[in-house]
A and B are shown apart, each in its own frame.
Chain A
Amino acid sequence: MSTADAVAGVLWIGATFYAVFGGADFGGGFWGLFAGSGERGRRARALVDWAIGPVWEANHVWLILVLVVLWTGFSVAFESVMSTLFIPLSIAALGIVLRGSGFAFHKQAAHSSYRLFAERLFGVSSLLTPFFMGTVVGAIASGRVPVGNAAGDPVTSWLNGVSILTGVLFVATSAYVAAVFLVSDSRRAGEPDLEEYFVKRALGAGVATGGLAVAGLVVYRADARYIYDGLTGDALPLVIVSALCGAGVLFLLWRGHRRGTRPLAIGAVVAVIWGWGVAQHPYLLPKSLTISEGAGNNTTMEAILIVFVAAVLIVIPSLVFLYTLSQRSIVEAEPPPPSAGASSPNP
């Protein structure tokens, strides 16, 4: 494996983390948006809030990692993608800003009307970002991003069947992952009716995602043949693993089991992302730029790997420290009061 391949691997690790944790984050916003205004909807939103509260912003660090590694390691690919696909990427970035501010501010908003507005903003932007990220991936997969500064078509590159389907698939996947996570969160919070509520949604989202994935294969066969051949060729084992994990989650949830659903749901997403990586190898931009052609200066590529290792050594232990501390507080805390909430003080 060359240095460039290793750096591409780092890129892919970042993308995987972003897809799983960022995806769950976006999915939380999705369920918050469609929870409705009734009492149960309000409680569902509060649960989403509670579940993503401590980590909401850390998840974007994975995105920053992907962007920085891309422009440092594969600057030509970065230039081509960002300039051709500036419309969907601008909207995705807009979504990130609105989402972040909506989330940070709704906790502080004094008036309930501001609060509602901030929540809506959070929900809508949670849809925008994954959808448009999906169109970007679709554009790259279908070979619509040529090498160069704004060399591709600014509109049709991302406004086509493959892109739109990939966008919808991204939204569905994040909703599905989030629902599976929220089942466990409701259990942790001691809210059995919300647990049931999210089981139903996880099942629905799981079936929808599976259906979209099958539809995706058909569209890819027609319009993104290179990826399709890869997915049904070298990457087939990973695709099968993903399908099995996804089916396993549905089976467990349907049978009333909770244990193992989270890892399986993560497994389904991780397998399909790495399947994608295998299918696309050795191309960064299918059929126009390979990993080795796009690679930056070798000194820099080695430095990226060194920095990555340093990051793992510094960041992982401190994250573990933080996580241990906050888990301990949950253990120490008194058991949550009954959800009628009559006893608790105002927030």
Chain B
Amino acid sequence: MAFTLGFHIVLASMGVAFPAMMLIANYRGLRRNDADALRLAERWSKVAAVLIAVGAVTGTVLSFEFGLLWPAFTGRFGDVFGILFAIEGIFFFTEAIFIAIYIYGWKRMSGWAHFWTGVPVVVSGIGGAYSVVAVNAWMNQPGGFDLAKDGTVKSVDLVKVIFNHAVPYEVPHMILAAYIVAAFLIASVYAFGMLRGRRDRHHRLGLLIPLTVGLIAAPIQFAVGDTAARSIASDQPVKFAAMECNKTTHRHVTEYIFGICTADGVKGGIGIPGFDSFLVGFNTDTKVKGYDIVPPNDRPPFNTMLHWAFDIMVGICSAMIALGAWLAWAWWRRRDIPKTRWFLRAVAISGIAAVVALECGWIVTEVGRQPWIVYNVMRTKDGVTGASGVWVTFGASLVIYTVLGVATVLILRTMSRRWRSAGAEEVSVPYGPSDPVPPASEGSS
């Protein structure tokens, strides 16, 4: 399930944020009468449709997995968190319908009317992201229900479930992450193109529009993430201790960057004395809770991995901010992107880096919550299915998703090659309008 989710999270991020880039390009195209921007928007809408379709397939499988892998968890708490998925269903449906209308509307509707049919896609993408991430937030900070003596759910307060304690920091953090991942992935595709010598206006716009979004989002994300980390220090102190490899509760806690977590503290790595305390309470004298507040079997595993995942995520975000500063400087001086090829190279790898950061964040929040599936309420091992053969299911989904991932990339490459060679806009996509002419008559020899 972790694997399926790790795959789905990338697709879902694209599904949430890609339509926004598409609309920005569309807006620019309409405002400035810019044909290049409009063409970008049209192509992006088709790519978004493919990604949303694949995301829908992985989403369907995920809803199966809730039962196939976690029947006891869903069986016990389904009526607490399930409603969020019902709400997400509405958002997803709206998103899928309007992306179809939007794609259909190219050259058929007037410019602004068409633009407005794209707005529900963006809004429902954000709404859907809220609903799903709120479930995860609830698993981290469960609330809004009472348990009877036998452990079954006695009463539910849905408002407290939907607006649970972790929502205010986890949901914005994830939505921003989605925008950052989509922005840098798209920008990196165009950076590759420019490195290969395709330095036309089309590529420049394709690079600059998402990059601007990403570079605005990255510093905000840094601040939101910082707030999230401070909230975790008080809401889930064990997770925070694991992120920082902090064994004992004390003051003047050293912040370690990388290093290996061992029984007698962090080996290697760069230590900044007192900085961990400072980050938590803006004072090096702040007391930070360590691992030792809970018995060993309540602590998360893989401490070093967790610690590294957190540091890598923060590191990548900082690098993105630096990239943004570089671009802003060049833009301010010369109204142009930095001349050196190193800038394009940096952007080209930023897409992969953004995905790595996303997955690291996912590892931190999920592994950091272990051994609980519902924090301090239900252990992961109690939520899992009683059926044997789960490893078969797991192996099968591993194979399927690899195939699906490779195939998605191949499809998008084919689309891009066709666009480049023919300049033809007619690439058929799952959400495209029904062809007015049945293809039975097409392509006969």
Task: List the interface of chain A (C-beta within 8 A of B).
Answer: 43, 46-47, 49-50, 53-54, 56-58, 60-61, 63-65, 67-69, 71-73, 75-76, 78-84, 86-87, 89-90, 92-94, 96-98, 100-101, 103-105, 107-110, 148-151, 154, 189-191, 194, 296-297, 299-301, 303-304, 307-308, 310-311, 314-315, 318-319, 321-322, 325-326, 329-330, 332-334, 336-342, 344-347
Contacts and interface: CB of A to CB of B under 8 A. Distances in A.
A310 B90 contact: yes
Contacts of B77: 75
Contacts of B435: 50, 53
Contacts of B429: 107
Given A50-B435, A72-B78, A104-B53, A149 B385 contact: yes
B438 A336 contact: yes
B79 A89 contact: no
17 contacts: A50-B435, A64-B60, A67-B64, A72-B78, A82-B67, A82-B385, A89-B64, A97-B404, A103-B430, A297-B153, A307-B83, A325-B108, A326-B433, A329-B104, A329-B436, A330-B436, A336-B438
A54 B100 contact: yes
B177 to A, nearest CB: 24
Interface stretch (B155-163, B205-213, B341-349): B155-163
Interface stretch (B68-76, B267-275, B358-366): B68-76
Given A97-B57, A150-B387, A67 B97 contact: no
Contact of B411 (A105, A308, A336): A105
B60 A73 contact: no
B246 to A, nearest CB: 37
Contacts of B50: 104
Given A322-B100, A336-B441, 12 more contacts: A86-B393, A90-B68, A104-B53, A107-B430, A149-B71, A297-B80, A299-B158, A315-B93, A318-B97, A346-B443, A347-B428, A347-B439
B156 A75 contact: no
Contacts of A148: 386
Interface in B84-135: 85-87, 89-90, 92-94, 96-98, 100-101, 104-105, 108, 120
Given A83-B67, A100-B57, A50 B86 contact: no
A107 B155 CA distance: 50
A296 B153 CA distance: 9
Contacts of A93: 60-61, 64, 68
A236 to B, nearest CB: 33
Interface residues of B, number: 82
A43 B443 CA distance: 11
A78 B71 contact: yes
B386 A149 contact: yes
A337 B145 CA distance: 63
Interface string B238-278: 00000000000000000000000000000000000000000
B66 interface: yes
Given A296-B78, A322-B101, A304 B86 contact: yes
